[in-house]
Amino acid sequence: MAMCANPKCVLLPKLLLLKTLLLFCDVWDSRADDHSQWALDIMRESPLIDGHNGLPLKLRWFYQNKMSKFNLKTLDTTLTNIKKLQDGHVGAQFWTVEFYCESQDKDIVRLTLEQIDLVKRMCKRYDELELVTSSEGLANSKKIACLIGIDGGHSIDSSLATLRMYYDLGVRYLTLTPYCNIPWAESSVPEQATFYRHVNGLKAFGKEVVKEMNRLGMIIDLSHTSEATAMSVLAISKAPVIFSHSTTAAFCQNPNNIPDDILQLLKENKGIVMISFNIKFLACGRVSAGVSVVADHYDYIKKKIGSEHLGIGADYDGINIHPVGLEDVSKYPALINELLKRGWSEKELKGILRENFLRVFREVEKVRDASISIKPNEEEIPPEMIKNSCRLELKPPSGGAI
């Protein structure tokens, strides 16, 4: 091969390389300066999984669960519709089935079943939505994946058989307590209702609920459980748990918020906190709070236990007041934009958007698969623990056959 004697032959490739590097730096600097576009790029690659949305109850209030009365593509009486979900780059949404404490010991099971039915009908009706029940289905969905979570252990009416039936219907997480005590677990705010005032922590039957959820592959949610309940669950559960819509107590000493000692136990459990956008808990109700307040909670938990223990559970349509700049489900990119400005890496952000939750979901399924030889739990709660006049005590009829 002939050699080039001209020095330009040597300099030319070096000059081209230098120009290429400078061009790359210019593009990188431009992208780094334009955090909003960078945030959108990340979210297109990693559409977020949100852990808590209260739309189903709103649809019951406003439309009596009658889908003929609303169009979810353009619905404007709620903070959630399909167009806004797409604009917010939501790849998956846990639709929350929830009812107030007043339904406890009454018709809570019927109400819960009706809301599960609504979610399943809703996700079947719209082409943009797809009901999924596994981590594989969630990871591979090309639509807005629908998942079902139940917010409150009162929905199982202290029955493991009911818990199993919910799982068969597609429910993939259960929040152990609503905003009041239940017969087998203590809430973070038991004073908000008169139910089971003297329950402390997790009772023996509650421990059986935790074990059965592990066996089934149902995710345990500790949002608005008491500290004693959370500590007991974290000591028992073989699978990672979640806080589906919570914040840290570091910035607001609200009983619903997570103290540092629970955060450390959560790290050992390998679970996650899906940060709520509820101003009441983020900033003790300070309505002027903006996106930076939410980011402060992310920064704090990242510093304490690592970004791998974080997710998003905004609680849209479950609360009325959100941070300025995060007013509805289309606004999620504003949070990612803010975290980019604070130096969060793409890997960390993809973690909180979806990868951290997917890891937890897969681990829960691994525990389920390892429990295949364990038979369904037949424990029953002692009747004296339930103040429920609606319960029928089943006995053989007097005189023999029915």
Beta strands in 21-72 (DSSP E): 48-53
The answer to whether the CB of 315 falls within 8 A of the CB of 54 is: yes
| pLDDT > 50? residue 24 | no
pLDDT of 264-289, one tens digit each?
A: 999 999 999 999 999 999 999 898 99
The answer to whether the CB of 141 falls within 8 A of the CB of 92 is: yes
Query: Rounded distance, CA 366 to CA 230, Å?
Result: 22
| pLDDT > 80? residue 201 | yes
The model carries a pTM of 0.90
| pLDDT > 50? residue 341 | yes
| pLDDT > 50? residue 26 | no
Close Cβ partners of 91 (under 8 Å, ≥ 6 residues apart): 46, 47, 48, 49, 141, 144, 145, 354
pLDDT tier for residue 2 given thresholds of 50, 70 and 90: very low
pLDDT at 33: 54
Cβ neighbours around 29 below 10 Å, total: 10
| pLDDT > 50? residue 12 | no
pLDDT of 134-187, one tens digit each?
A: 999 999 999 999 999 999 999 999 999 999 999 999 999 999 999 999 999 999
| pLDDT > 50? residue 25 | no
Query: Rounded distance, CA 391 to CA 79, Å?
Result: 38
The single residue listed with the structure tokens 């429990």 is 371
pLDDT of 219-269, one tens digit each?
A: 999 999 999 999 999 999 999 999 999 999 999 999 999 999 999 999 999
- Domain range 49-374, CATH architecture: Alpha-Beta Barrel (3.20)
The answer to whether the CB of 331 falls within 8 A of the CB of 325 is: yes
Query: Rounded distance, CA 133 to CA 148, Å?
Result: 8
pLDDT at 283: 95
Beta-bridge partners for 50: 93, 312
| pLDDT > 70? residue 110 | yes
What phi and psi values does residue 51 have, to the nearest 5 degrees? Answer: -90, -5
pLDDT at 399: 65
pLDDT tier for residue 320 given thresholds of 50, 70 and 90: confident
pLDDT at 402: 59
Query: Rounded distance, CA 14 to CA 29, Å?
Result: 22
Cβ neighbours around 376 below 10 Å, total: 11
The answer to whether the CB of 206 falls within 8 A of the CB of 178 is: no
Query: Rounded distance, CA 221 to CA 199, Å?
Result: 19
Cβ neighbours around 296 below 10 Å, total: 19
Number of H helices, E strands in the chain: 15, 9
The single residue listed with the structure tokens 């017969």 is 183
| pLDDT > 50? residue 321 | yes
Query: Rounded distance, CA 237 to CA 127, Å?
Result: 37
pLDDT tier for residue 23 given thresholds of 50, 70 and 90: very low
| Percent of the chain residues topping a pLDDT of 70 | 90
- Minimal CA–CA distance to 210: which of 179, 246, 231, 238? 238
73 three-state secondary structure: coil
pLDDT tier for residue 51 given thresholds of 50, 70 and 90: very high
pLDDT at 292: 97
CA 260-250-316 angle, 5° bins: 105
**Kind of pairing, strands 129-131 and 219-221?**
unpaired
Please state, in angstroms and as integers, the Cα–Cα distance from residue 101 to each residue in 98, 181, 340, following that order: 10, 9, 40
pLDDT at 400: 60
Query: Rounded distance, CA 304 to CA 26, Å?
Result: 35
Per the model's pLDDT, the better-predicted residue between 208 and 389 turns out to be 208
